[in-house]
Amino acid sequence: MKKQLLVFILSFQASFLAACTCNVIVDEFCHSADSLDHIAMVKLIEFDDETAAQFSLIDSINMTLPDTFGVFGQDGLNCLLELYQFEVGDTLIFNMRFHPNGIENWITGNTYYYSIDGCSRHYLHYSNGKVLGNIDGVLTEMEYVPFKQGILTCFDFELNNNELLTQEFLIYPNPSQGELQIKSSTLEVLNFALYDLKGKSKKFSFTQSQNSWIITFDNQDTGIHILAISTSKGILRKKFLLVN
């Protein structure tokens, strides 16, 4: 009976796999997280089923996490990470999304408070003191200590913005190949400014159509840049990756 149920579940998952459509795919771990993610080194201790697993905390990098916790993954209906690619005992670096009200596993009825997006690279492997995987599009191996120390400049965090101000804007795509689309239906935008990580001002131009703007970069170097948006309620600063 259990075997028949497992076959049914896997078949059902496969039939609905197409229901997940990834709008943005970022294959570099560094640029796939934002200020809402919980980044940590964890160890896989057991699977609950094909869609979820339990992890023990080894090192919390940016936010407080419990010593053990469950993570919900791909169930055939969502765009979360397929956890069954890992094995019990694996040590991993995850960036996870926290769900304060929990999300229910429709197969078992269990509630989970953490999940991992499957559309972009939200995990790395860890072995013998080194982080392994596509870290930033260039590095595929790095000692853990400098990786952890440099993580705040590596990730696409929201630079201590007011959370309400952040929610007022839709800014995409990230990474960008030369343009950013910006939309806000409620705030008055006063002006824009563009900087690199050293604080050097960069040239750009923009066009406006009602409550949306297109920012175009003029012969920019690739890498992480910061767009500052001055509004009637304050300044929003957004990190983004510029690629060829």
- Where do the domains of the chain lie? 2-154, 163-242
Residues 6+ apart with CB under 8 A from 198: none
CB 168 within 8 Å of CB 210: no
CATH level 3 topology of 163-242: Immunoglobulin-like (2.60.40)
**Hey, what are 223's tokens?**
């890498």
DSSP 84: G
Q: Would you say residue 138 has pLDDT above 60?
A: yes
Report pLDDT for 17: 42
Report pLDDT for 18: 44
Q: Would you say residue 4 has pLDDT above 50?
A: no
Buried b or exposed e, range 198-231, using 16+ CB within 10 angstroms = eeeebebeeeeeeeebebebeebeeebbbbebeb
The 3-state DSSP class for residue 210 equals coil
- pTM above threshold 0.85: no
Using CA atoms, how far apart are residues 94 and 81, in angstroms rounded to an integer? Answer: 11
Report pLDDT for 241: 82
Using CA atoms, how far apart are residues 206 and 217, in angstroms rounded to an integer? Answer: 9
Closest by Cα among 224, 228, 227 to 152: 224
Q: In Å, how far from its chain's centre is CA 166?
A: 16
Report pLDDT for 34: 67
pLDDT, tens digit, for every residue of 191-214? 888 877 666 778 899 999 888 999
pLDDT, tens digit, for every residue of 49-73? 999 999 999 999 878 899 999 999 9
pLDDT, tens digit, for every residue of 85-122? 999 999 999 999 999 999 998 888 999 999 999 988 99
